[in-house]
Amino acid sequence: MKIKVSLAQRIFDFFNVIFMCVLAIVMIYPVWHVVMASLSDNNMLIGYTGMLFKPLGFSINAYKLMIRDSMIATGYLNTIFIVVIGVSLNLLFTSIAAYFLSRKNVYWQKFVMFFIVVTMFFSGGTIPFYLFVTQTLKLNNSLWALILPVLINTYNMIIMRTSFMAIPDSLEEAARIDGASHWTVLFKIVLPLSKAIIAVMCLYYAVGHWNSWFNASLFIKDREKYPLQLLLREILIINDTNAMTQGSGDAAEKMSIAETVKYAVVVTGTLPILCLYPFLQKYFVKGVMIGSVKG
Amino acid sequence: MKKNKSNVKNNAYTAMLKKDFKINKSLYIMVLPVIVFYLLFHYVPMYGAIIAFKNFKPQLGIWGSSWVGLKHFMDFFNGYYFLNILGNTLRISFATLIFGFPAPIILALLLNELRNAKFAKIIQNFTYMPHFISLVVICGLIRNFTADSGVIPYLLSFFGVEPKSLLNYPQYFVPIYVISNIWQEVGWGSIIYLAALTNVDASLYEAAVIDGANKWKQLIHITIPSIMPTIVIMLIMRVGNILNVGFEKILLLYNGSTLDVADVISTYVYRKGLLDLSWSFSTAVGLFNSVINFIFLVGMNSISKRVNEVGLW
């Protein structure tokens, strides 16, 4: 069937496309600006105002200075530790909870569900949480304080439960009749059939750990244990780049090089996620889709 | 006779429980670590919130500290900052709601109108991207872009605005907060509406075209009503968090000159509790925050159930 397109429709389409292109530029430009600034010559960048479409001059000095600073490497390692251990435990706990809540004919299930969902809408607040973690569990200055309190994200768990419920019961029942334990069913049947949702969960949790800074700012005092985001905060928000610009000439030179170092740090801190992004975006979206089908 | 009946019922109930436990025993054991997790990291802090009614001293513990009743709440309500921070919280929250809530819906509707599916996909991918950048980096970028030599004052200078560091002026704080929020979340937020839009029955549109309805009428009479349940659910969730403004973001953005407009309940809790160490007082303020949120959530849910017959429970 050929659809007749009216003039008004065509005008609308035209402006819609223009609007979308502008939107795409607005979305991408800040990231582009940062990458270009990080590759710029610091002396040219310092006096420059305006948009950046290509590097001003070209210099990778900022990256060299950044790599020389051992704090960034330590921060990276701490963050990687948190992401790897954190995500593994997240997946284990989340899938156990989702498995339990997706079974049929379990009497106490609805109570457990209620017990869990209440925490989405009501919490004791920051202070009692802080006091419990630091005074009762004595986890201050430990990277575990960044992993254990966020073992299960209830929203993610509900997404996973919805996906588990879609797996046909017959498979599980057959295995149970053959004497398989629930652990076997979970690890040998349910999880292998849920690769897409596991990918979604990995990504959600990994991005969450990678980007989180607030709990770290509460619990981690020792600079050796700073995750990357706390270092980024120090450099970007508190404006402290002394450690990295040491021995690079006079005060003015230091100030200008500090500016490019800032950009370089942002690029290194954001790059891993933005590099993965094009490959994984379909999974991110998938998670929202499953989540939007109300369980 | 009646007693007998309820006895029978009771016995049947106990028998059912016993049977359930026998069948599902290993499942209950399996889920124990999950229960322990929620108890420890969610319910213990809820219990710990009773220090709001006490004069908590860490060395005395929760039980050893003396009761003071509603003193901390009264101190807060009568305090110098109460009206100011409550006003700020509501102002920032409503501004985010009014401008931020419709934005992803409009984006989804516009994306849905694009004829070239591939083009739409590319645009979508660009709009999701900012969602994954960490808040620390976003706030670093905001500071940089709004500084007197930054890109935004540079662009504004074409419209005759004197370049200055925008974050140092109270009147710009809320707009910066709201606009950057929309920039970061509009694409991500639109996914759920796009999903709802793909589920709209195509035959409705065909029928409408035959009846001579133009695009605008189709939008008003078919598209919007079809995605209304999604909109309502999202709105309830949003209103249930009315007092939870993005406080991490405010912590990273505010400074001495914008404190008057930027200080919200949760940043106040943070400063009072973790910087001034007034544990009980700040817990009381936090509890006030939670209770108000909860009232809004329940209220919004019941209104929506009456009006739209859609609700969270």
Highest mean pLDDT among A34-43, A90-99, B189-198, B244-253: A90-99
Domain identity same for A111 and A211: yes
CA distance B52 to B70: 8
In B62-183 the beta strands, taken as DSSP E runs, fall at 66-67
More confident residue, A115 or A64: A115
Does some domain include residue A11? yes
Does some domain include residue A268? yes
Does some domain include residue A1? no
Considering chain A, what is the average pLDDT of its residues?
A: 86
Q: What confidence category does residue B302 fall into, taking pLDDT thresholds of 50, 70 and 90?
A: confident
Does some domain include residue A234? no
- Measured between beta carbons, the chain A residues lying within 8 angstroms of B137 are 232, 236, 266, 269-270
The pLDDT value given to residue B43? 95
The torsion defined by the Cα of A265, A267, A268 and A270, in degrees rounded to 10, comes to 120
The torsion defined by the Cα of A34, A40, A43 and A47, in degrees rounded to 10, comes to -50
Contact (CB<8Å) A93/B37: yes
What angle do the packed helices B170-198 and A251-292 form, to 10 degrees?
30
Q: Does residue A245 carry a pLDDT above 70?
A: no
**Cβ atoms of A292 and B237 closer than 8 Å:** no
Domain span at residue A31 reads 7-68+241-292
Domain identity same for A127 and A261: no
Q: What confidence category does residue A292 fall into, taking pLDDT thresholds of 50, 70 and 90?
A: low
Task: State how far residue A210 is from chain B, nearest Cα, in angstroms.
Answer: 8
Q: What confidence category does residue A294 fall into, taking pLDDT thresholds of 50, 70 and 90?
A: very low
Contact (CB<8Å) B283/A127: yes
**A256 in contact with B, Cβ within 8 Å:** no
Nearest to B48 among A27, A131, A149 (CB): A131
What pLDDT digit, counting tens, does each position of B35-80 carry?
Answer: 999 999 999 999 999 999 988 888 888 888 888 889 999 999 998 8
Does some domain include residue A232? no
DSSP string spanning A248-287? SSSHHHHHHHHHHHHHHHHHHHHHHHHHHHHHHHHHHHHH
Contact (CB<8Å) B136/A116: no
B87's enclosing H/E stretch is: helix B82-95
What pLDDT digit, counting tens, does each position of B84-118 carry?
Answer: 999 999 999 999 999 999 999 999 999 998 988 89
What pLDDT digit, counting tens, does each position of A47-60 carry?
Answer: 778 888 888 888 88
Mean pLDDT of B18-46: 93
Share of chain A above pLDDT 70, in %: 91
- Measured between beta carbons, the chain B residues lying within 8 angstroms of A108 are 20, 28
Domain identity same for A41 and A113: no
Contact (CB<8Å) B31/A33: no
Give the type of residue at B171: Q
Task: State how far residue A101 is from chain B, nearest Cα, in angstroms.
Answer: 9
The pLDDT value given to residue B148? 85
Task: State how far residue B259 is from chain A, nearest Cα, in angstroms.
Answer: 16
Q: How many other CB atoms are there within 10 angstroms of residue B213's CB atom?
A: 16
Report how far apart, in Å, the C-alpha atoms of B290 and of each of B72, B240, B285, B311 are.
16, 10, 9, 20
Contact (CB<8Å) A96/B34: yes
The end-to-end CA distance of chain A, in Å, is 39
Q: Interior CA angle at A245 toward A241 and A248, to 5°?
A: 155
CA distance B133 to A229: 11
More confident residue, A6 or A213: A213
The pLDDT value given to residue A295? 36
Give the residue on B whose Cα is nearest the Cα of A134: B58
**Cβ atoms of B105 and B193 closer than 8 Å:** yes
Share of chain B above pLDDT 70, in %: 97
**A53 in contact with B, Cβ within 8 Å:** no
CA distance B7 to B27: 29
Give the type of residue at A51: M
Contact (CB<8Å) A127/B279: yes
**A232 in contact with B, Cβ within 8 Å:** yes
Q: 0.80 exceeded by the pTM?
A: yes
Going from the N-terminus, what domains does chain B have, and what CATH number goes with each? 2-67 (no CATH), 71-308 (1.10.3720.10)
- Spatial CA neighbour of A103 closest among A8, A167, A151, A51: A167
The pLDDT value given to residue A4? 62
CA distance B47 to B51: 9
Domain identity same for A199 and A248: no
CA distance A38 to A46: 12
Q: Does residue A2 carry a pLDDT above 60?
A: no
Give the type of residue at A163: S
Task: State how far residue A248 is from chain B, nearest Cα, in angstroms.
Answer: 23
Q: Give the total number of structural domains in chain A.
A: 2
CA distance B52 to A124: 10
Domain identity same for A84 and A219: yes
Nearest to A128 among B48, B114, B150 (CB): B48
The pLDDT value given to residue B7? 76
Final residue before a domain boundary, out of A223, A250, A280: A223
The pLDDT value given to residue B103? 96
CA A72 from centre of chain: 19
The pLDDT value given to residue A3? 57
Contact (CB<8Å) B149/A9: no
A160: its two tokens: 């996973």
Does some domain include residue A12? yes
Q: What confidence category does residue A293 fall into, taking pLDDT thresholds of 50, 70 and 90?
A: low
- Measured between beta carbons, the chain A residues lying within 8 angstroms of B23 are 105
Does some domain include residue A230? no
Domain identity same for A85 and A214: yes
Task: State how far residue B51 is from chain A, nearest Cα, in angstroms.
Answer: 8
Nearest to A181 among B26, B143, B183 (CB): B26
The torsion defined by the Cα of A219, A222, A226 and A229, in degrees rounded to 10, comes to 60
What pLDDT digit, counting tens, does each position of B207-266 carry?
Answer: 888 888 888 888 888 899 889 888 988 888 788 777 778 889 999 998 888 889 999 998
Task: State how far residue A25 is from chain B, nearest Cα, in angstroms.
Answer: 8
Q: Does residue A287 carry a pLDDT above 90?
A: no
Domain identity same for A76 and A46: no
Contact (CB<8Å) B191/A24: no
Residues facing residue B55 across a β-bridge: B66
Domain identity same for A180 and A247: no
In A6-144 the beta strands, taken as DSSP E runs, fall at none
- Of the given ranges (A32-36, A187-191, A275-279), which has the lowest mean pLDDT? A275-279
Domain identity same for A90 and A160: yes
The pLDDT value given to residue A246? 63
CATH code at position A215: 1.10.3720.10
Q: How many CB pairs under 8 A join A and B?
A: 240
Contact (CB<8Å) A292/B282: no
Report how far apart, in Å, the C-alpha atoms of B259 and of each of A127, A204, A267 are.
22, 33, 30
- SS3 call for A186: helix
In chain B the beta strands, taken as DSSP E runs, fall at 54-55, 66-67
Q: Does residue A280 carry a pLDDT above 80?
A: no
Give the residue on A whose Cα is nearest the Cα of B22: A106
The pair phi, psi for residue B66, each rounded to 5°, is -85, 150
Final residue before a domain boundary, out of A189, A223, A257: A223
Task: State how far residue B224 is from chain A, nearest Cα, in angstroms.
Answer: 17
Mean pLDDT of A103-117: 91
The pair phi, psi for residue B67, each rounded to 5°, is -75, 140
Mean pLDDT of A240-245: 66
Domain identity same for A78 and A175: yes
More confident residue, A138 or A45: A138
Does some domain include residue A229? no
Domain identity same for A95 and A153: yes
Final residue before a domain boundary, out of A223, A253, A279: A223
A137: its two tokens: 């569990």
What pLDDT digit, counting tens, does each position of A144-181 carry?
Answer: 999 999 999 998 999 899 889 888 888 888 888 888 89
Q: Does residue A71 carry a pLDDT above 90?
A: no
CA A185 from centre of chain: 30
**Cβ atoms of A149 and A129 closer than 8 Å:** yes
Considering chain B, what is the average pLDDT of its residues?
A: 88
Give B114's Cβ-side CA count (13 Å radius). 21
Q: What is the ipTM of this complex?
A: 0.88
Domain identity same for A173 and A270: no
Q: What confidence category does residue A96 fall into, taking pLDDT thresholds of 50, 70 and 90?
A: very high
Q: Does residue A85 carry a pLDDT above 90?
A: yes
- SS3 call for B66: strand
Nearest to B30 among A31, A100, A152 (CB): A100
DSSP string spanning B168-228? GSHHHHHHHHHHHHHHHHHHHHHHHHHHHHHTS-HHHHHHHHHTT--HHHHIIIIIHHHHH
- SS3 call for B55: strand
Residue A12 CB-density burial (10 A; 0-12 exposed, 13-18 middle, 19+ buried): middle
